[in-house]
Amino acid sequence: MRAVELEKAFDPKSFEDRIYAQWQETGAFKPRPGDGTPFTVVIPPPNVTGVLHLGHGLNNSLQDIVVRFHRMRGEPTLWVPGTDHAGIATQNVVEKRLKAKGQSRHDLGREKFVEETWKVKNEHHAIISRQLERIGASVDWSRERFTLDEGLSKAVREVFVTLYERDLLYKGNYLVNWCPSCGTALSDDEVDHEDTPGKMYHLRYPVVGAEGSFVELATTRPETLLGDTAVAVHPEDERYTALAGKKVFLPLTDREIPVVLDTYVDREFGTGVVKITPAHDPNDWEVAKRHELPVINILTPDGKLNEAVPEKYRGLPVKKAREVVLEDLKAGGFYIKEEDITHAVGHCYRCHTVIEPFLSEQWFVRMKPLADKALAAWRRGEIIFYPRKWENTYQHWMENIRDWCVSRQLWWGHRIPAWYCADCGKTAVSRTDLSVCPHCGSKNIEQDPDVLDTWFSSWLWPFSTLGWPEDTADLKTFYPTTALVTAYDIIFFWVSRMIMAGLEFTGRVPFRDIYIHGLIRDKQGRKMSKSLGNGLDPLELVDEFGADALKFTLAFMCAQGQDLLVDKESFKMGSKFVNKIWNASRYILMNLEGRNLVASPSLLPADKWIYSRLNGAAKTMTEAFLSYRYNDAAQTAYEYFWNDFCDWYVEATKLSLKSGSDTEKDRATTVLLDVLAQSLRLLHPLLPFVTEEIYGKLNAATCSAAQEQLINSAYPVYDEKKYDPKAEEDFVFLQELVVLVRTLRSECTISPEKRVRVLVRLGEAKGKILSENAELVKLLAGIANLESDSGEGSRPQGSIAVVGSGFEAFVYIAEAADLGQLKQKFTKDIEKDLKYIGGLESKLANENFLKNAPAELIAAEKLKLEDARKRTGKLESYIRDMA
């Protein structure tokens, strides 16, 4: 073999792009033929005009880890990439550009506006693709999809028409959530409710025919009274029984409106009288239907008052109208008072504009029949949530689902495939474009100008990306997909709808496993946002720490069911671990000159121990990956490689590599390289770039003919026969002895270069183990002379005793340190500890502290006290030994 040089300073920039290009060029991301069940993941498609934030970094890192793991298990593995056209968000981007030029989309017209939007899409798509490459996403780029590409457009139209044919799609005048800024309807799930300061205004409505009599009511939206068509009271409210069948005068108008009796009214809230504005409140809408009240829409699509209100208020934006209406109410004697309140106000999830309930004609999907099937599939165990707690959220939403408004008043998106005939007045829905009315033959038809909600295409994503509605080879092979990895904030938007669509159109659930990860938050627990300035750019983190450090840190911190609290400093942990892997591998590779590989090398106790530890780590990590416990897998990898492999095994091999014969050096090197190669396979899903780079160097050093890439090598498989409990038990004994001697040396401030003499008293079985590994213990613990006996004699003069499991070791401290100085040091340490113990005891004796402090804080203080007492006891025993 020949020595292979890794750069002294670890620099991921020197190889990450090269490695990724190598993977792509060799088709490493494409599914490989295999006998096992395929493992398929479809990427949650990011908005094409967005920029990947750290939440995307987490989501795609977790997908990449599990995809790489299953690929190494030999399963045909497919990770489908793609982007979402993001109707509202993308149209907003283009409209902002036009506004900066003093133009609007109407100046361009629909066709040219869509052309401009495609240009923006192409610009941003390249950015997102490069970002995914930088973080190491091993997606099959040859199968990349876009929600507006030809195949997906065909799937969308097929679904729309099929729903219409099955009477699961209808059009009607309904109250919808309306964004005046985006100029479109939104579904309930697209409205963010935020606690907002506001006011409750108390008003009086005069009773018709009863001079001087009025009803008092309260509202947060006084301007909407212009659309009132009734006031309501509870039928059992004795205060208002006399009002039954009467009318009240609507202030600022010339209208009289009825008093209706309805159990919707909460008698305990406010005055017990409620104004009914059916066109601008969903509850009032239901009241109006029950009492056959007229519905008056007072708003224009851009959020201004329309022709249905008195002329004075027409054209006023809502906020300005509220001011003017309040002034007029006060002038007319209709205003009583106002109170400061905080209430939940709906905002557009895209532009954060306040949502207006708005009467509009829209297309809706009947969701209950679809939800019933999806609930039944979950109850049959066909889908599994990780963690299981999200099943409750899923169940609650499905059982309380409302019809889905799917039409949007936009130009960018899938245009609704419905045509309206001006001659016969009928509607035609078609899988192909129409030029003639199929009902009457007239050419005087016009397509619906609206487009479909963005989620209408993405709810088909698991099967439309694989070629549906065509019966493609990919659909046959890779559908249903295996796992969905996503955040909990889109369980409603996307996860539930995909399950409904999969069952309705393919007869099968779209995936089996649903892993719901937490959200990325800052160290204070706040969501990351531009406004707070607490966001982290994943690409900046990659530039500073490398893609592996980003991925490993996120996995290490990703515990099921918990959000991740991170800052920039968090990623130093991952960076240090990657450096450890690099430096350990560098040391091994640079010491190969002149060594020869040995066939079937014999194993020393340390070799048997590390193989057993490697085998155990493979078992633990495999189980963790299969159940999406990323943090458990990452912690196991960290502890195995840093502690077992680097701190113990590599150090143990130095005995053979430095002082052994050439035959022994060849044997030890052969085993060490095999353990390193298997360790790199073990770590690869979590740290793909650095492990692939080192694996390539390892192949070059050993002149491996196969030159197999690590990405396609086999993941270590747990083998019961490789589990060696005796080797582990024996080595744990040696480790304990070494640690005890090292700790005592440190406490006595004995320099690492100074060797000590040690006597160990132990039983016959352990004595044999110690005898066989004496030179190793001496090397690792800095021992010059190691003696052992099985007697029960007194403590040797000038030594300090340390006690382990089944043995006692005496370290001859007097030969290596000044006992007088040590006594002074230990005495001072004890005095300091006693003061500390006194403070803790006082705190834990304080009833107020015990009564008011959190249980975890009390437990932590008790643990500190216990540790301090143990430390003091140990130091006291040291002083006694030195007497």
Confidence band of 285 (pLDDT split at 50, 70, 90) = confident
* Integer angstrom CA distances of residue 819 from 172, 410, 883: 93, 85, 9
The values of phi and psi at residue 760, to 5°, are -120, 130
Q: What is the DSSP letter of 456?
A: H
Q: What is the pTM of this model?
A: 0.84
Q: H or E element: which one contains 134?
A: helix 110-134
What is the per-residue pLDDT for 51? 79
Helix 390-399 vs helix 368-379: crossing angle, to nearest 10:
150
Residues facing 198 on adjacent strands: 341
pLDDT single digits (tens) 828-863: 999 999 999 999 999 999 999 998 998 889 999 999
pLDDT for 799 equals 92
In angstroms, the CA 362 to CA 184 distance is 10
Q: Are 203 and 218 in contact (CB under 8 A)?
A: yes
Predicted pLDDT at 177: 79
Contact between residue 297 and residue 359 where contact means Cβ atoms under 8 Å apart: yes
- Determine the 3-state secondary structure of 846 from DSSP: coil
- Helix ranges (DSSP H) in 538-646: 538-545, 547-557, 571-589, 605-626, 630-638
At 554-607, the pLDDT tens digits run 999 999 989 999 999 999 999 999 999 999 999 999 989 889 999 999 999 999
- Which pLDDT value is given to residue 438? 95
User: Quick one: pLDDT at residue 705?
Assistant: 52
- Residue 228: exposed, middle, or buried by beta-carbon count in 10 A (0-12, 13-18, 19+)? buried
Calpha distance 626→609 (Å, rounded): 26
Q: Contact at 8 Å (CB) between 499 and 374?
A: yes
Whether residue 470 is predicted with pLDDT greater than 80 in this model: the reply is yes
d(CA 353, CA 37): 47
User: What token pair was written down for 628?
Assistant: 């999406």
Confidence of residue 356 (pLDDT cuts 50, 70, 90): confident
pLDDT (0 to 100) of residue 694: 96
Q: How far apart are CA 548 and CA 577, in angstroms?
A: 10
- As a whole number, mean pLDDT of residues 501-513 equals 98
Distance CA 215, CA 233 (A): 10
pLDDT single digits (tens) 146-164: 999 999 999 999 999 999 9
Q: Which residue, among 241, 518, 293, has the nearest Cα to 389 in the 3D structure?
A: 518
**Between 36 and 375, the higher pLDDT residue:** 375
188 pLDDT tier (thresholds 50, 70, 90): low
706 pLDDT band (50/70/90 cuts)? low
Alpha carbon distance 431, 439 (integer Å):
16
Residue 173 in tokens: 């005048």
pLDDT digits (tens, 9 = 90+) for 610-634: 999 999 999 999 999 999 999 999 9
Cα separation, 527 vs 54, whole angstroms: 11
Which residue shows structure tokens 């690929």? 71
The pLDDT assigned to 704 comes to 63
pLDDT, position 391? 93
CB 389 within 8 A of CB 561: yes
759 beta partners: 787, 810
In this predicted structure, the answer to whether residue 354 has a pLDDT above a threshold of 90 is: no
Average pLDDT over residues 241-254: 92
Return the DSSP state at 359. E
- CA dist 631 and 517 (Å) reads 11
CATH of 542-723, one of 1.10.730.10, 2.70.98.50, 3.40.50.1820, 1.10.287.70: 1.10.730.10
- The phi, psi pair for 215, rounded to 5°, reads -110, 145
DSSP state of 571: H
User: What is the band of 479 on the pLDDT scale with cuts at 50, 70, 90?
Assistant: very high
**Residue 707 confidence class, pLDDT cut points 50, 70, 90:** low
Query: What was the pLDDT predicted at 688?
Result: 98
Strand duo 427-429 + 756-762: pairing? unpaired
Residues β-bridged to residue 171: 363
Pair 199, 391: CB distance under 8 Å: no
Q: Are 756 and 640 in contact (CB under 8 A)?
A: no
Q: What is the pLDDT of residue 669?
A: 96
User: Region 375-389: what's the mean pLDDT?
Assistant: 96
Q: Which strand ranges, in their side-by-side order, compose the sheet holding 184-186?
A: 184-186, 169-179, 356-365, 404-405
Task: Please give the DSSP secondary-structure letter assigned to residue 138.
Answer: -
The reply to whether 184-357 and 542-723 are identical in fold is no
In angstroms, the CA 399 to CA 10 distance is: 54
Residues whose CB falls within 8 Å of the CB of residue 227, separated by 6 or more in sequence, listed in order: 277, 278, 279, 280, 296, 297, 298, 308, 309
Instruction: Tell me the HSE value of 75 on the side-chain side, using a 13 A CA sphere.
Output: 20
The average pLDDT across 96-100 equals 89
Supply the pLDDT for residue 247.
Answer: 95
Mean pLDDT of the chain: 92
130 or 703, greater pLDDT: 130
**Cβ pair 364, 174 in contact under 8 A:** yes
Sign of CA dihedral 733, 738, 740, 741: positive
Fold of 31-157+458-517: Rossmann fold (3.40.50)
Q: Does residue 244 have a pLDDT over 90?
A: no
Could you tell me where the DSSP H helices lie in 773-818?
774-781
- Identify which of 518, 694, 695, 728 has the alpha carbon closest to the alpha carbon of residue 614: 728
The domain ranges of the chain are 31-157+458-517, 184-357, 542-723, 754-881
Task: With both helix axes pointing from N to C terminus, report the angle between 368-379 and 496-506 in degrees, rounded to the nearest 10.
Answer: 90
Q: Per-residue b/e over 243-272, b at no fewer than 16 CB within 10 Å?
A: beebbbbbbbeeeebbbbbbeebebeeeeb
pLDDT computed for residue 291 by the predictor: 94
Share of the chain above pLDDT 70, in %: 99
Per-residue pLDDT band at 350 (split at 50, 70, 90): low
Helix 688-701 and helix 571-589: axis angle, to 10°?
Answer: 0
| β-bridge partners, 521 | 527, 565
Task: List 195's β-bridge partners, or say none.
Answer: 344
Q: 255 Cβ partners below 8 Å, 6+ apart?
A: 249
Q: Which amino acid is at 610?
A: I
Q: Which of 371-385, 680-694, 717-731 has the lowest mean pLDDT?
A: 717-731
Fold adopted by 184-357: Isoleucyl-tRNA Synthetase; domain 2 (3.90.740)
